[in-house]
Amino acid sequence: MAEIRRTVVVKLDVTDSDAALLDETIDEYLWACNYVVDDAWQDDYKPTSKSKLHDRTYGDVREQTRLQANLVQSARNRAAEAIKGVVARWQNGKKASQPQFTTPSIRYDKRSATFHNDHVSLSTVDGRIDAEYVLPPEGGNPQTTYLRNGDYEVTGATLQHRDSTDTFFLHIGTKAEVESEIPDEGDTEHSTVLGVDLGIEQLAVTSTGMFWSGGYLNHRRREYERVRGDLQRVGTESAHRTLERIGDRETRWVEDYLHRISKAIVDEAVAHNCDTIAFEELTDIRERLPGAKKFHAWAFRRLYDYVAYKADAKGIETTQVDPAYTSQRCSKCGTTLEENRQSQARFCCQKCGYEVNADYNAAKNIGFRLLRAGQKSPHGGATRHLALKSGTLNVNGGYSPADQ
């Protein structure tokens, strides 16, 4: 089992009166941190143990602030860590002065805060306040992905007040226990990449020859646009509400579909022992793909995020590579010619005669691009291989059949 930790940053929606309460809480919390450090600085031999610092300061801080017990302990822990840091520097012969706490932030744990799917309840100097998370309108982003996923457990959070914009942010720590799917013994020399090509006719094609048609998505999008056109022509308030409802439902359908494809792509990577999944760069993908709509750019981005998230949970990295010439290069002999791309669907190498589905050829090139990029593999200086249907290809074009 391996443990994965992710920090999710969310903006909080707080009323003016709650914001004032949070500011007061931050002030008293920082005062408490500084009080503990001041107390420790009374001694030549600085105490660093939490229990010693607790005995010396807890009563005073409780008396002089309105902080709840858990926040007093949190302030003391933060002070203890800072004192330890200074002492460690001294022990290494380095200079360090008394820590000062000025950054407006508070560390909350699961006793001083309660984390919900869409809001948090925070302890303040005057009871608790509820603050909604400000999340992007659609689901599937990292915030909702980690916060609403049952596999990820919230461990705590740091509240920050950004003075520049007068806004509050919560840096929420999450963790998950995952089964490591990557063999980490005896196979350190091997690092395998799965290439993925995205498109309109074929939504996704892998270097191992798996195809997911874009037909379903394109059909749904056209249907939705037809209904939307009709309702817009009606133009009434109720037609507008119907339109919004259908739009939300449509988005959920599409997201659900993309979730299923992303799962299949990650399964494919696991099945081929891949430790990296390579996509083409998504920026400007609309300009590169004839006929791509805003919808496609959105769907590609969403699919990429889903894959990255699911792959992460399996210990697989997801990355984007420069897409230049991946559709014109022959994945067999390496020749790059504009004429190689015969049509939207067909690739035929003018040099070696290799004839293959154009998206499949591109998927292999995308994976190959990563091998060539010489990016450090997660396994150190390992040789990279590209996962193919029935074997792997190394960076020099050497093919090894699958040994199973």
Q: Which is nearer to Zn ion, 331 or 392 (CB)?
A: 331
Of residues 104-163, those binding Zn ion (CB under 5 A) = none
CB nearer Zn ion, residue 245 or residue 351: 351
State the Cα–Cα distance between residues 37 and 58, nearest whole angstrom. 12
State the minimum distance, in angstroms, from the CB of residue 351 to Zn ion: 5
In the complex with Zn ion, which residue's Cβ is closer, 271 or 333?
A: 333
- Smallest distance from Zn ion to CB 348, Å: 9
Angle between helices 50-64 and 16-40 (to 10 degrees): 130
Q: Whose Cβ is closer to Zn ion: residue 351's or residue 376's?
A: 351
Q: How near is the Cβ of 340 to Zn ion at its closest, in Å?
A: 7
Show the site string, 162-181: x = touches Zn ion by CB under 5 A, - = not: --------------------
In the set 196, 349, 388, 393, which binds Zn ion (CB under 5 A)?
Answer: 349
Q: Which of 352, 355, 398, 400 binds Zn ion (CB under 5 A)?
A: 352
Rounded distance, CA 313 to CA 219, Å? Answer: 32
DSSP 290-351: TT--HHHHHHHHHHHHHHHHHHHTTT-EEEEE--TTTTTB-TTT--B-GGGB-SSSEEE-TT
Tell me, by CB under 5 A, how many residues bind Zn ion: 8
What is the nearest approach in angstroms of Zn ion to the Cβ of residue 356?
A: 10
354 binds Zn ion (CB under 5 A): yes
For residues 283, 171, 173, 56, the Cα torsion angle rounded to the nearest 10 degrees is: 160
DSSP code, position 125: B
Complex with Zn ion: residue 300 or 347, whichever CB lies closer: 347
From the list 58-66, 221-229, 271-279, 352-360, the region that binds Zn ion by CB under 5 A is 352-360
Task: Output 88 or 352, the one with its CB closest to Zn ion.
Answer: 352
Q: Based on CB atoms, which residue is closest to Zn ion, 296 or 332?
A: 332
Q: Which two tokens stand for residue 102?
A: 């000025």
CB of 385 to Zn ion, least distance (A): 20
Query: Are the C-beta atoms of residues 113 and 121 closer than 8 Å to each other?
Result: yes
Q: Decide whether 43 or 339 has the Cβ nearer to Zn ion.
A: 339
**Nearest distance from C-beta of residue 341 to Zn ion, angstroms:** 12
Q: Which residues, listed in sequence order, are joined to residue 120 by a DSSP beta bridge?
A: 115, 131
Structure tokens at 303: 């699919």
Site for Zn ion in 230-289 (CB under 5 A): none
Applying CB under 5 A, which part among 74-82, 208-216, 308-316, 351-359 lies near Zn ion?
A: 351-359
The first and second tokens of residue 300, run together, are: 């590609």
Q: Are 127 and 134 in contact (CB under 8 A)?
A: no
Q: What is the rounded CA–CA span in Å between residue 348 and residue 337?
A: 10
Sign of CA dihedral 314, 316, 320, 325: negative
CA angle 314, 207, 141 (to 5 degrees): 45
Q: Which stretch binds Zn ion (CB under 5 A): 51-59, 180-188, 208-216, 354-362?
A: 354-362
Query: CA 225, 231, 233, 235: dihedral to nearest 10 degrees?
Result: -140
Distance of closest approach, residue 362 Cβ to Zn ion, in angstroms: 14
d(CA 63, CA 44): 26
Site map 309..338 versus Zn ion, x via CB under 5 A: ---------------------x-xx-x---
Q: How far is the CB of 364 from Zn ion (least distance, A)?
A: 12
Pair 104, 160: CB distance under 8 Å: yes
Min dist. Cβ of residue 333 to Zn ion (A): 3
Residues within window 356-395 making contact with Zn ion, judged by CB under 5 A: none
DSSP letter at 387? E
How many CB atoms are closer than 10 A to CB 236?
Answer: 9
Q: Which amino acid is present at 162? A: R
Q: Nearest approach, Cβ of 349 to Zn ion (angstroms)?
A: 3
Q: For residue 315, is it left (φ>0), alpha (ψ between -120 and 50) or beta?
A: left
Task: Give the Cα separation of 196 and 367 in Å (integer).
Answer: 7
| Residue (270 or 356) nearer to Zn ion, CB | 356
Closer by beta carbon to Zn ion, 121 or else 335: 335
Chain residues that interact with Zn ion, rule: CB under 5 A:
330, 332-333, 335, 349, 351-352, 354
